[in-house]
Amino acid sequence: MTFYWIVIKTIWIKEITRFSRIWVQTLLPPVITTALYFIIFGNIIGRIVGDMDGVSYIRFIFPGLIMTSVITNSYSNVCSSFFGAKFQKSIEELLVSPVSTNVLIIGFIGGGISRGMLVAFLIILSSVVFFPLEIYSWIVTLVTIFMTSALFSLAGMVNAIFAKTFDDISIVPTFILTPLTYLGGVFYSLSLLPNNFWKTISKMNPVVYMISGLRYGFLGIGGDLTLNMTLTILLIFILILYYATWYILKKGKYLKN
């Protein structure tokens, strides 16, 4: 057990050191991007839109903007790091070492979770410039951010395993994550959708539940989606992706050229 903990801690520290050294590229951009959204959508457009679900528009979009950054950063951290290790063939040293597959997975996704949660913390900290910070439930907020970071860290690892070139690791964020995120209710409430058909389609988007859960953590509102639904869906997806990652690593088919 002590040996496994040392391995996990080593990989985890390596991952944190990796993105911390280039914090100007990894931590600062999401804070600046979110600040621009606050200025343009929150203040300027928000005055025209007015309140949304009983709260000011800038407060309404705040949880969605945090979730967008958490998803992107946790995903890209593990995806780029693991693919880099595979590309340089250093991953083969870990595969032949007496390290279990579970330890390898936990070590890498630990870095993605750390980056996702750190980015969320920095955005929350910077938000006090635009409005007084009020959080309805710290526990729900932290649990939702943690589980979302874990989920997309695993997704990034799966993408990195299958990727053959550096171009392959940008396909999923561009064509899947970005549409799912912006159609997940970041800038609008599901109650505004014209009919039950589009509401049903939206509820098939898992990101909707993540944003809803974080919105409940910050504002105490969740619309038609309950907190139990959010946490259940997050847990199901985490278990599925964890098993898929474990199985693929065990097979080792896509890790060697």
State which of 131-135, 194-198, 221-225 shows the largest mean pLDDT: 131-135
Q: Report yes or no on 256 lying in a domain.
A: no
Residue 148 has what pLDDT? Answer: 96
Structure tokens, 195: 């009919």
Q: Report yes or no on 35 lying in a domain.
A: yes
- In terms of phi and psi (left: phi > 0; alpha: psi -120 to 50; beta: otherwise), the region of 62 is alpha
Sequence-distant (6+) residues with CB within 8 A of 96 are none
In terms of Cβ atoms closer than 10 Å to its own Cβ (0-12, 13-18, 19+), residue 243 is: exposed
Which segment of 31-40, 113-122, 167-176, 228-237 scores lowest on mean pLDDT?
Answer: 167-176
d(CA 214, CA 148): 10
d(CA 135, CA 98): 44
d(CA 56, CA 50): 6
Average pLDDT over residues 181-185: 86
Length of the chain: 257
Q: Report yes or no on 102 lying in a domain.
A: yes
d(CA 145, CA 129): 22
- Give yes or no for a contact between 214 and 145, defined as CB atoms under 8 angstroms apart: yes
Structural domain containing residue 138: 2-251
d(CA 84, CA 156): 12
Residue 155 has what pLDDT? Answer: 95
Q: Report yes or no on 237 lying in a domain.
A: yes
Residue 243 has what pLDDT? Answer: 96
- Confidence band for 256, pLDDT divided at 50, 70 and 90: low
Instruction: Quote the longest CA-to-CA distance of the chain.
Output: 60
257 pLDDT above the threshold of 60: no
Residue 149 has what pLDDT? Answer: 97
23 pLDDT above the threshold of 60: yes
Q: Report yes or no on 59 lying in a domain.
A: yes
Percent of the chain with pLDDT over 90: 49
Tell me the per-residue pLDDT of 239-254, one tens digit each, with 9 for 90 and over: 999 999 999 988 877 7
Q: Report yes or no on 241 lying in a domain.
A: yes
197 pLDDT above the threshold of 80: no
Cross-strand pairs, 55: 52
Higher pLDDT, 93 or 111: 111
153 pLDDT above the threshold of 90: yes
Residue 175 has what pLDDT? Answer: 86
Residue 166 has what pLDDT? Answer: 81
Q: Report yes or no on 257 lying in a domain.
A: no
Q: Report yes or no on 192 lying in a domain.
A: yes
224 pLDDT above the threshold of 80: no
Dihedral sign from CA coordinates of 200, 204, 205, 211: positive
pTM (2 decimals)?
A: 0.92
Tell me the per-residue pLDDT of 96-122, one tens digit each, with 9 for 90 and over: 777 888 999 999 999 999 999 999 999
Residue 223 has what pLDDT? Answer: 63
Which segment of 44-53, 90-99, 226-235 scores lowest on mean pLDDT?
Answer: 90-99
- Confidence band for 74, pLDDT divided at 50, 70 and 90: very high
Tally the domains of the chain.
1
